[in-house]
Amino acid sequence: MTRPALRLIPGRSGPPAGAGGTHTAADRALADAVARGDRVAMEALTKRCLPMVYGLAQRLLRDSGEAEDAAQDVFIKVWRKISGYDPERAKLETWIGRITLNTCYDRLRKRREAPFEHGEAPDAPDLNADAEQALGASQAASRVRAAVAALPERQRAALELRHFQGLSQAEAADILEISEEAVESLLARARRTLKTALLDDAAHMIGALSDARGGGA
């Protein structure tokens, strides 16, 4: 089967094809066309789901390059498994979201088993003056990203699906294969952790600033 090259598409994933029986029929028709190797259908499915796949992979893997590789892996699996997709059981976004989660969890598991390739730690980034200045200008955003990245995998996934991809509680629950109540619990724990981390970070910065001013008096 000829596979279209993946091209990252900014923004959120496209809206579902409809509700109830409408989305079921539309998803079945699209999946059947993809299974037949219809290039137009494959590109339509990629455009519809790639933002969600890449966004979730980037949030979980915390590396844009690896997220791109993971997205490639996900769609290769989709092309191979699409003939077995059942629209009566899940929307296409839900089905592909589950494949994305499992692909990312596999990569994270391998990363934990072999944290550094060839047994060497990665080199520290080489920041020139312009990069350092840009980094200083975006410190607040960096702290938020770091706090989110430090969350447990399931909490990061719930945040990505609900707040960054804009999925409903029910859709996120379907992808995570847990109840809506469990999704809300993950989100609540994530929010508490982020609030504590960011407040602690702010207090540390204020303390450091006070010390610096005192030292310069």
pLDDT of residue 23: 77
pLDDT of residue 17: 44
27-42: burial string, b at 16+ Cβ within 10 Å, e else: beebbebbbeeeeebb
Coil/strand/helix, residue 43: helix
Q: Cα separation of 144 and 155, whole Å? A: 15
Q: Cα separation of 183 and 154, whole Å? A: 9
Kindly report the pTM of this predicted structure.
Answer: 0.68
pLDDT mean for each 10 residues of the chain (217 residues)? 47 46 85 95 95 93 94 96 93 94 93 58 46 51 81 91 89 93 94 85 57 52
pLDDT of residue 195: 87
CATH code matching the domain that covers 10-115, chosen among 3.30.390.50, 1.10.1740.10, 1.10.150.50, 3.40.50.300: 1.10.1740.10
pLDDT of residue 11: 42
Q: Give the architecture-level CATH label for domain 139-217.
A: Orthogonal Bundle (1.10)
For the chain, give every residue range classified as CATH 1.10.1740.10: 10-115
Q: Cβ(50)–Cβ(73) under 8 Å?
A: no
For the chain, give every residue range classified as CATH 1.10.10.10: 139-217
- Per DSSP, helices labelled H in 18-167 are 21-35, 39-61, 64-81, 92-113, 129-137, 139-149, 153-159
